[in-house]
Amino acid sequence: MAITFKTRASGDVTMLDANAKQVLQIIGKEFGARGVITAAEAPQAIALLKAAIAAQGGERGPDEEAEPVAARNHVPLKTRVWPFIEMLERAEAGSKDILWGV
């Protein structure tokens, strides 16, 4: 399944449940059918996501020779969360909350 994040400050961002759960865990939110990230919470969420990306540094995926399919399917955290970070930045700038499950 997938979770779609919505805000009046930007377009929607849709993530697979596993990815959404990881992102919400990083920013300290509970994964559930419905939720909200307020505009006031956006700066902290951005900082936490950027710190998680930095902590991964030059994250390397699975070895291409040993696991070619897994290596082709590997998507680094930075790639997965960058549209969400942009959404958070726009939500903060526009003083709009981000909702999911609505």
pTM (2 d.p.): 0.83
**SS3 of 97, please?**
coil
Residues 19-29: pLDDT tens digits? Answer: 999 999 999 99
Q: Which of 32, 36, 37 is nearest to 1 (CA)?
A: 32
Residue 80 has a pLDDT of: 86
**SS3 of 59, please?**
coil
pLDDT range class, residue 92, cuts 50, 70, 90: very high
